[in-house]
Every structure is written in structure tokens, then in C-alpha cells.
Amino acid sequence: MSLVGRQMSRSHSTAHHHRQYSDNFLDASKWLQSSSQDFGYGSKMNRSMQSNPSTPPVCSRSSSLRHAGDGQVSPGLLDLHSFDTELLPEMQVGSRYEGYSFDQRSSRGRSFDDSEPNLLAGKVGSRSAKGLPENSLLKSFSASVDKERANNVAKIKVVVRKRPLNRKEKTKKEDDIITIEPNSDALTVHETKLKVDLTEYMEKHEFVFDAVLDEGVSNDEVYAETVQPIVPLIFQRTKATCFAYGQTGSGKTYTMQPLPIKASQDILRLMIHTYRNQGFQLFVSFFEIYGGKLFDLLNDRKKLCMREDGKQQVCIVGLQEYRVFDVETIRELIERGNATRSTGTTGANEESSRSHAILQLVIKRSADGSESKPARVVGKLSFIDLAGSERGADTTDNDKQTRMEGAEINKSLLALKECIRALDSDQGHIPFRGSKLTEVLRDSFVGNSRTVMISCISPSSGSCEHTLNTLRYADRYEDCAK
Ligand SMILES: Nc1ncnc2c1ncn2[C@@H]1O[C@H](COP(=O)(O)OP(=O)(O)OP(=O)(O)O)[C@@H](O)[C@H]1O
């Protein structure tokens, strides 16, 4: 679909940025074969810190912390990608389908609910009662539902979230310069400028995105708008990335932190209900990229190294990956990782992040769904809390360390932008090697992928320049979403 019109001037002082819609969809209509194995998640739901080491059979790097019985944290070492990043061959439709309705609009603001009526199963039941062969009916029905669902989720989605004015900004009597039309996906930045004779005038910058969320929107609603529609797709060989972009203190961490918890809740529900007994396994890993180097946030910031195998798959050697069965464990792992994450102090945010933190939820399954065979990656959901975008401009700071951090952050944010632009324009060459960040994300941008960018903005007049930069960065992504 073509761009509707961009940078349209209004009264010589308004820049208008229009949205374009994403219709570059991929077919993800493959269903996974059922198996008779039951992992008994229910019985494990109440244990604290239930996680298993993920140690592929060929990998002998298990640490002394390996699983020692019920209820113990038991990390194993893993080459995240070296043995298992190859996608499973296409599999047949399962013999039973207990689907939920994943309608994006109706689900806004809430999570999947186990108590919801099983609409799809109900429809199937009534049709098969009329004498149609149940298995073939289920196959075609679930495949078409699946395809429709995949097609309804844009390949690239850009969402803007405005946070409320904080206490400091209110004390300084800073104005809220962002207006958002009710029930619209448009926002306006009101920038105060000076004429040559030093009289003030207002310049309006209008932007339109896939969704614009104002300061009253809850984290649940953010989830419903961004990640929730993607969750079912990762059972269908999709690799998805959700990242937050914005200046320090704009709300990236506030926005990103709840998302993996909510996503894993839904993933586990799908595993327990829709994909019951089909052998899916959920794994969590959490690492950061700081100064161009990788550190494992679930293993005392152990330095990791990245390699590429013969099939150009990226391997993060030594990254610990935990098999998880319940949300509480994931929550504890995330808290542990966050506590380990590199933070520094800036004027805008005491806990400013100078690293990119990457949390991955990986769904695996062995070819026949049994636990005796090595599980391979089916789909992956990566959550990236990017370093503050303005840190990229920290190149004039007195501190050499800060300058170097700024240069590295700048490089990776530019590389990220370039990669998405190149992917979109179908260029043969994707500049993944531009930064560690894009190298790590390589497999999440190719093939059957989904990308959600959440641009976080501060409403205060003092942040106007950064806010405009963030929105322009996001607007370039909009260029890609066609
Ligand atoms: N939508 C929001 N509603 C209420 N408070 C918010 C919101 N967004 C952010 N905040 C608050 O603003 C402060 C800064 O947010 P946060 O740490 O998420 O910023 P950040 O963009 O991650 O910064 P940095 O890049 O420095 O890590 C926090 O105290 C957070 O609780």
C-alpha cells in the first residue's frame, strides 16, 4: 500500500507525517503435529523458580548448577543457536485444535482468558456433527484461521507511547507539548521557536503511526496493542522482535518490563490449552550488549561471544537458557537480570540504561514432540530495551568511557535503522554486520518475522528536540511498513 502523504506542510509551519499501512504479510499457516506426551505443567505451576537447564545433548558445557531436583534453579550452558536454530520442517496440522479467538481489537486491554468460551472449537464441533470428516475439516479450518490470523498481524508495527509529565518536570513548570486526538493514531508536537526578532511562535509537527498511546494508557493496553497479537504466531515458526526506542527517562524500561511477563503468560496458556500434549517447551535467556560486547544477565554478566556457523546462523556461545514452566519463574529471572544490568546516572534518569537489554522467549519442540529427542527452535520472541537514544549523542562528554558508550550506542541504533530499511526495500545486502545488536537480531529480521517498535516520548517542553528525533526515527520505520 502506498504512503498516503508525508511531511505535508500546514500554514507553513506544520510538518505532517502520515501513516502507511502494512500489507506485506507472510503466510504462516502451518500447524504443528500433536503428540501424546504430557509435560504436566499443571502440577508444576506452584513451584517457585522452576526452571530447567537447556542443554542440548551434544553440548557438554553443563555447569555445576545443573538441575538437582524439584524447585531448584538449575542453569545449564547453551549455545543458543548452534544446535537448534534451524526451523523444524513444515509439520502437519494437529489432530485437535482448541483455539482461542485472538481478535486484536476485542482483546485490547486484557489478556487471554482461560475461561473464555472456546469459540473455534465450538464451531468445529457443530460442523463436524453434520457428518464431515473431523480431521480434514479441522485441518482446513485451522489452517485458514491460522493464515488469516497471521495475515492480520502487520510485519512491522510502530507504536508511540507518551508518558505523563513527571514530578521534576511539573516542578520546573514545563509544558506538555504533545497533543493526541482522542481515538486517533495521530499526535502533534507543539514546538516553541524564536523568530529573528526574538518573538516566539509555535511550530506544529503532526505524525501518524499505527497506534498512538497517551499517558492514560496502561501497560496491559500497551501489551494488547503490541505483542499480544504476535504471541500465537511464534508457535507457527515466526521470529518476532519488540523493541522500545526513545531518550533516557522516556519510559522504555517502564514499557518493556511487563511485556515478557504478559507474553509468557499467554504462551504458557497456549501450551497448556491449545497445544496441550504437543511437546512445546519454553525457554528464557537474557543478555545485554554494552560497549559492543555481550554479557549474560542470568549468569553474573559472564562475557559471551558471538559466532556464525556455516549456515550463517548466529550462535551466542555460552548463553544460559532456562527452561521454564511458570510465569513466576520468568518474573524472578527477569528481576535477576535487571538487577545485573549495567546502569549509570544521567540528569534525566537516575537509573539510565546504557546498554541494550535483550530478553528472549524461545519456543522449541523436537521433531516428534517427544522429550527424548533434541528440541529445536520453532519460534522466538525477543524483547529489546534499547539504550537511551540521546546517549548516542554523548560523544562530547568529558568522560572517555561515556564518549565511547555514546559512539557505540549511536552505531547500533543507526545500524538497526539501516537494516530495517534495507530489508524493506528488498536489497540483496542487509547490513547486519553494522553492529553487534543487528548481528544478534539477524535471524529475527529475516524469513517469517514480525517487528514491533514502541517509541517512548516525554511530553515536556524541555524534551522537545529529543521527542522530535524519536518520532522522526520512528517515522522512518513507517517508511518500511508497506
Ligand atoms: N507511562 C508511564 N506512566 C507512569 N510513569 C512512567 C511512565 N513511563 C515512565 N514512567 C516513569 O518515568 C521514569 C523513567 O522511566 P524509564 O526508566 O522507563 O525510562 P527509560 O526510557 O527506560 O530510561 P533509560 O533509557 O535511562 O533507561 C520511571 O520512574 C518510570 O516509572
CA–CA distance, 177 with 189 (Å, rounded to integer): 6
Q: What is the mean pLDDT of residues 284-292?
A: 92
Name the average pLDDT for the chain: 71
- The strand pairing partners of 241, in sequence order, are 382, 451
Assess if residue 133 is contained within a domain.
Answer: no
Cα 162 to middle of ligand 1, angstroms = 10
CATH code of the domain containing 71: 3.40.850.10
CA–CA distance, 176 with 462 (Å, rounded to integer): 9
Assess if residue 279 is contained within a domain.
Answer: yes
Assess if residue 298 is contained within a domain.
Answer: yes
Residue 215 CA: nearest ligand 1 atom is 1
* The three cell numbers locating residue 125: 464441533
Quick one: pLDDT band at residue 467, thresholds 50, 70, 90?
Answer: very high
Q: How far is CA 383 from the centre of its chain?
A: 4
Cα 329 to middle of ligand 1, angstroms = 24
Assess if residue 120 is contained within a domain.
Answer: no
Assess if residue 148 is contained within a domain.
Answer: no
Per-residue pLDDT reduced to its tens digit, 395-449: 555 677 777 777 888 888 889 888 877 766 666 677 888 899 999 888 877 778 8
Assess if residue 138 is contained within a domain.
Answer: no
By CB atoms closer than 10 A (0-12, 13-18, 19+), residue 96 is: middle
Of 456 and 99, the one with more pLDDT? 456
Q: Which helix (H) or strand (E) holds 435?
A: none
- Structural domain count, the chain: 1
Q: Return the closest-CA partner of residue 157 out of 450, 476, 457.
A: 450
Identify the domain containing residue 347 by its residue range.
6-96+155-480
Residue 456 CA: nearest ligand 1 atom is 21
What would you measure as the largest C-alpha separation in the chain, in angstroms? 83
Assess if residue 119 is contained within a domain.
Answer: no
CB 471 within 8 A of CB 246: no
Report the residue among 254, 259, 342 best suited for mutation to probe ligand 1: largest number of ligand atoms under 8 A from its CB: 254
CB 475 within 8 A of CB 420: no
Assess if residue 294 is contained within a domain.
Answer: yes
Sequence-distant (≥ 6) Cβ neighbours of residue 285 within 8 angstroms: 78, 80, 296, 298, 319, 320, 321, 322, 359, 360, 362
